[in-house]
Amino acid sequence: MTLELTRDELAALSDGQLAAIDAWWRACNYLTAGQIYLKDNALLERPLIVEDIKPRLLGHWGTSPGLSFIYAHMSRLINLTGQQAIYLAGPGHGGPALVAASWLEGTYSEIYPDVGFDRTGIVRLFRQFSTPGGIPSHVSVTTPGSIHEGGELGYVLMHAFGSVMDNPDLLTVAVVGDGEAETGPLEGSWKGISFLNPVRDGAVLPILHLNGAKIAGPTVLGRKPPAEVRALFEGHGYQVIEVEGSDLPGMHHRFAAALATAYQMITEINHSAREAGRIDVRPRWPMIILRSPKGWTGPGQVDGNQVVGTWRSHQVPLAGVRENQDHLRLLEEWMRSYRPEELFDAEGAPVELVRTANPPGPLRMSASPHANGGLVSRPLDLPNFRDFAVPVDAPGGGRTESTRCLGTMLAEIYRRNPDRFRLFSPDETNSNRLGAVFEVSDRAFMERIESGDVRISHDGRVMEVLSEHNCHGWLEGYTLTGRHGIFATYEAFAMVSASQTVQHSKWLEEAARLPWRAPIPSFNVLLTSTAWRNDHNGFSHQGPGLIQIMLTHRGEIARIYFPPDANCLLSVADHCLRSMSYVNLIVIDKQPQLQWLTMEEAAEHCARGASVWTWAGNDDPGHEPDIVLACAGDIVTMEVVAAAEILRERLPQLRIRVVNVVDLMKLIRPKDHPHGMGEMQFAELFTESVDVIFAFHGFPGAIHQVLHGRPDADRFHVRGYIEEGTTTTPFDMTALNQVTRYHLVIDAITNARRIPAGAGDLLAWCEQKLAEHNAYIVEHLEDLPDIRDWHLPAR
């Protein structure tokens, strides 16, 4: 960052600057109102008539003038300092303000040439807003300069913090709505500064937009005594700068001064930290509280009710303009109050005075490459995943903690990519066996560090905060601005931030349809400490729901992997870390588990996504088996292999085939998902008519969903997690959910094409084994030794 001007010079708004800022802001407000209301007569070249008004009035006015006021002042700061900045609008429902800003900056027309810098362009700008075939009402993917839609409120600060991690030249301005500030995620996200190191990270400037109202009532912070509000943010560690009022030009002068003060603090923090190459105490970063009226500059009173400064201005302050001549007149007065004839030339382009307020080229916040992260992204320098292979002499012979092997690979990725890779975890890096990363980097922490602390330092880059929301949001901000990472979490608690996964998936889905949005690094989620091995934590820690949620997303972006062992995990992780613009779920437990495939076999298996494990079955190649045993997920894979082993031993005449699925999307028809396997490959694995017993990691319904439309899909009998669990033994988790080897053997026998002699005895034996298990664990408090220590006998 540069600070060639002093704070006082930055603060002093010259007459020329004031005129430009004010004209730009008026133009932005005019275009905002125009987007909400007009479909014609965009420059008010004649009196407004009902036919000029859109049939459906959609959009949010209330937050918009505040958003554009801040934007205008940020542009001036950029013009004076050359600072690279992006703008995140927490109240993203102020979409028309940000669309208008990017149009005024020229970026909109550069990206969408049909919305040009002229009268026709303005009409299109107005007509397209919140209308069919047009653009959404929020600061969404289509909005140039946006990395934050702000549709689901609560995530703006975490996106902002993620955007500046390992991005030292960037200043991210994050406008926080005072209603948004009531959400749990937002409240937790002020803590971002406890993890931001100015030596290598950029800066976030939070601006709390305290306009006092939400959709239909007051905000908590709006009604608190200002001293309490101030104390709250000082308690979070910020230096609070307050600006209040609605007087003009007074507010321009005061806000320019506030921004100058904040900027000076930021540059001083950065300068001293970077000069010294280290920092010993967490800086007190600035934040601004802006108290300005909701719906500022909009209609004051409507039908005898106060609108400006109240919740009534939240959406469309004059709702009856098509039916009510008085409303139509008020709308015209309101829009003419911005004096459009001074702001747009005869062709409809913004006049020179307005345009001088814009920063040049990529310094325009709407044109910042940081907000189109794929443009600045560099691929990861990845090691050869084969170098981390677990030796496997024979399938199912020995146990390894698979995620520990991944940890070793992640450590090497940290080593090779000190400026563009981070692991994000809610306090679980060690618990999830990924602790090898600490050989390369400590945990990031900017608060006081004590002598007994382990692997924690100001310059650490492993991100641990006990907030799935923050982990998720930081990684989103990090990848949206071009860097790479992985979010590792307990499977059940991925549901805490599931809504963020949904929102980010939506973002990626829409981005995939916009050629100007460069692909960004994928959002990788490692789901571990899974439902099947939370025997020590119990029912609250069991929940494979995120899998179900990802299945609802478009094939362009949704990927779900179930590596059954360490070598498969390494191969899958390598693939995911190379990929762009997907949401990749990788599901595998962290406890010691049997290993099945050599690295070469694993790489081939993962490349196929699903294959027959010939060594586990006994069917003849080229002939249909009597039954297929299929599996997706590590623990259920073990149960399937064990079931197949029982059948081979005790019912050798029964021809069984074992199929393992790593890439769940392979099961979907190719017309429904790009990974879907063709009919021939599907039949090669599952035949066209033989019954399949499918043991699945997640809810059984997921498999029925992905198999929709496959030949004779009714023949798939799925067992999976059925919401049973408690604090019990590992094997009992599978027993409670009826997916043990014994259940699978029973299913195989009852559904096989042929029922060989001896099947009845085997059924009885299975029932007896289950009863034995039930009795044994209650008596001995652990699993039967032959279950606990089971491995596949060498052949």
Ligand X SMILES: Cc1ncc(C[n+]2csc(CCOP(=O)(O)OP(=O)(O)O)c2C)c(N)n1
Binding site for ligand X (CB under 6 A): 62-63, 91, 93, 151-154, 177-180, 183, 209, 211, 213-215, 219, 294, 314
Cβ proximity to ligand X: between 116 and 295 the closer is 295
CB of residue 66 vs ligand X: minimum separation in angstroms?
7
Query: Is residue 1 a contact partner of residue 81, using CB atoms and an 8 Å limit?
Result: yes
Contact predicate 116/107, CB 8 Å = no
What is the 8-class DSSP label of residue 152? S
| R_g of the chain computed on alpha carbons | 30
Round to whole Å and give the CA distance between 69 and 290: 10
Q: How far is the CB of 28 from ligand X (least distance, A)?
A: 16
- How many angstroms separate the CA atoms of 654 and 644, rounded? 10
Strands 239-244 and 656-661: unpaired
| CB closest to ligand X, residue no | 177
Q: What is the spatial distance between Cα 298 and Cα 474, in angstroms, rounded to a whole number? A: 36
* CB nearer ligand X, residue 97 or residue 587: 97
Please answer whether residues 769 and 776 qualify as being in contact, where contact means their C-beta atoms are separated by less than 8 angstroms: no
* Closer residue to ligand X (CB): 148 or 655: 148
Residue number with CB closer to ligand X (220 or 276): 220
Measured from the CB atom, the residue of 63 and 167 that comes closer to ligand X is 63
Q: How many CA atoms lie within 13 A of 161 on its CB side?
A: 24
CB of 140 to ligand X, least distance (A): 13
- Residue 553, token pair as written in the block: 């997303």
Task: Tell the smallest beta-carbon distance from residue 176 to ligand X (Å).
Answer: 8
Do residues 630 and 666 make contact, with C-beta atoms less than 8 angstroms apart?
no
Q: Dmax of the chain from CA atoms?
A: 98
Q: How far is the CB of 33 from ligand X (least distance, A)?
A: 16
As a whole number of angstroms, the distance between CA 204 and CA 219 comes to 24
Hunting for tokens 């027993």 — which residue is that? 735
Q: How is residue 775 written in tokens?
A: 């009795």
Is the CB of 179 or the CB of 202 nearer to ligand X? Answer: 179
CB closer to ligand X, 232 vs 784? 232
**600 phi-psi bin (left φ>0, alpha ψ -120 to 50, beta other):** alpha
Judged by beta carbon, residue 62 or residue 698, the one nearer ligand X is 62
Nearer to ligand X, 177 or 700 (CB): 177
Measured CA angle at 555 (ends 552, 559), to 5 deg: 80
The phi-psi region of residue 18 (left if phi > 0; otherwise alpha if psi is between -120 and 50; otherwise beta) is alpha
DSSP H or E segment with residue 773? helix 759-780
Beta carbon nearer to ligand X, 233 or 765: 233
Per residue, the 3-state secondary structure of 212-264, as one string, reads CECCCCECHHHHCCHHHHHHHHHHCCCEEEEEECCCCCHHHHHHHHHHHHHHH
Min dist. Cβ of residue 600 to ligand X (A):
48
User: In the complex with ligand X, which residue's Cβ is closer, 73 or 282?
Assistant: 73
Whose CA is closest to 290, among 65, 80, 623? 65
Strands (E) across 426-550 are located at 443-444, 456-457, 463-464, 484-490, 523-528
CB of 368 to ligand X, least distance (A): 23
- Residue closer to ligand X by CB (options 220, 775) is 220
What span, in angstroms and rounded, lies between the C-alpha atoms of 231 and 20?
36
Closest to ligand X by CB, 183 vs 431, is 183
Q: Least separation, in Å, of the C-beta of 198 and ligand X?
A: 29
CA distance 429 to 403: 10
Closest separation in Å from C-beta 63 to ligand X: 3
Report in angstroms how near the CB of residue 149 gets to ligand X at its nearest: 10
**Residue pair 84/169 in contact by the 8 Å Cβ criterion:** yes
From the CB of 725, what's the least distance to ligand X, in Å? 30
Closest approach of ligand X to the CB of residue 529, in Å: 27
Secondary structure of residue 548 in the 3-state scheme: helix
Q: How far is the CB of 74 from ligand X (least distance, A)?
A: 17
**Count of C-beta atoms within a 10 Å radius of residue 443:** 23
